[in-house]
Amino acid sequence: MYRQINPVPKTKPYTFEINILGLRDIKPLAMLPIKKAYIKFDMNSINVSGEPENNLPSKTTQPKDKGSNPTINTSLKFDINLPENEIYLPQLQCQVFDYIFSGMFNPT
């Protein structure tokens, strides 16, 4: 008799609040100076449900200040289920983009 194994760990609900103050010493892409940098958090990087239909929308800050040391001063809050056991905790991934030419070009 075979026993079916569930590869998804037991989870419990968590509430996250991320306070983003700003970015410092951003290096420009090629010759273009930094215009308006913003951060995009990949919520699927912490999705442990194993369900492809649970695609979570990315959380993004708004492009505000100009330059290589922009102050973002934003708070993001969201609820998500994470594993109870610490060894299975995923890492939240994010990328920094630059808002150039009214959003027509967004280099990472």
In a domain, 21, yes or no: yes
Give the chain's domain count.
Answer: 1
pTM for the whole structure? 0.78
The pLDDT value recorded for residue 106 is 60
Distance from C-alpha of 20 to C-alpha of 71, rounded to nearest angstrom: 9
What pLDDT is recorded for position 94?
A: 92
CB 38 within 8 A of CB 72: yes
On whether residue 60 sits in a domain, the answer given is yes
Residue 103 forms part of a structural domain: no
Q: How far apart are CA 29 and CA 17, in angstroms?
A: 30
End-to-end CA distance of the chain: 52
17 lies in which domain range? 11-98
The pLDDT value given to residue 105: 57
Q: Is residue 83 part of a domain?
A: yes
Distance, CA of 14 to chain centre: 16
Helices marked H in the chain? none
The token duo for 54 is: 């649970």
- Local confidence pLDDT in tens for the 108 residues of the chain: 677 877 778 889 999 899 999 999 988 877 778 888 889 999 888 887 766 556 678 898 988 888 889 999 999 998 888 999 999 889 999 998 888 765 555 655
With H, G, I as helix, E, B as strand and everything else as coil, classify residue 72.
strand
Residue 89 within a domain = yes
Q: What CATH number does the domain containing 29 carry?
A: 2.60.40.150
Q: What is the pLDDT of residue 104?
A: 56
For residue 55, being part of any structural domain is answered with: yes
Structure tokens at 53: 């239909």
Q: How many angstroms separate the CA atoms of 84 and 107, rounded?
A: 37
Tell me if 62 sits within 8 A of 75, measured CB to CB.
no
